[in-house]
């Protein structure tokens, strides 16, 4: 089991990358209560994150609910995920209530000899 985080004020940032791999399991409701970001990037298309993805996304909703403000949040997934699609469809109304936008993109970037999906975020 994890030790409880010490009490303290939340941290406000413009952009936060959610931990990947084994660390993805540490992203819970308390993470989103304490780390308040305008944009959260969900990167790392790996089987470990896919297994905990729904819990992370639900924790975002629960944590954001505790903020008590009208700060808009953008969720930026860097990979395609069936779990993400299902969560988006099932919780879309709740996302709108909480001011959460999931950013999708059909753009691709070509660099050297490979192409990959990409999106542009401006502050």
pLDDT digits 0-9 by tens, 10-45: 999 999 998 766 677 788 999 999 999 999 988 766
DSSP state of 31: H
Enter the pTM of the model: 0.80
Mean pLDDT of the chain: 83
Q: What is the per-residue pLDDT for 64?
A: 96
**What mean pLDDT comes out for the span 75-80?**
84
User: In degrees rounded to 5, what are phi and psi of residue 75?
Assistant: -100, 125
Beta strand pairing call for 100-102 and 107-111: unpaired
pLDDT in tens, 93-114: 999 999 999 987 666 778 888 8
Beta bridge partners of 11: 35
Q: How many CB atoms lie within 10 A of CB 66?
A: 13
Euclidean distance between CA atoms 33 and 108, whole angstroms: 33
């Amino acid at each position: 089991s994890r030790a409880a985080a010490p009490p303290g004020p939340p941290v406000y940032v413009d952009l936060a990358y959610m931990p990947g791999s084994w660390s993805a399991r540490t992203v819970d409701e308390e993470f989103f209560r304490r780390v308040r970001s305008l944009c959260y990037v969900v990167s790392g298309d790996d089987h470990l994150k896919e297994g905990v993805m729904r819990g992370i996304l639900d924790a975002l909703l629960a944590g954001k609910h505790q903020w008590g403000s009208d700060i808009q949040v953008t969720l930026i997934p860097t990979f395609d995920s069936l779990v993400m699609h299902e969560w988006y469809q099932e919780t879309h109304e709740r996302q709108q209530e909480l001011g959460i936008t999931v950013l999708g993109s059909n753009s691709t970037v070509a660099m050297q000899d490979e192409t990959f999906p990409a999106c542009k975020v401006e502050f």
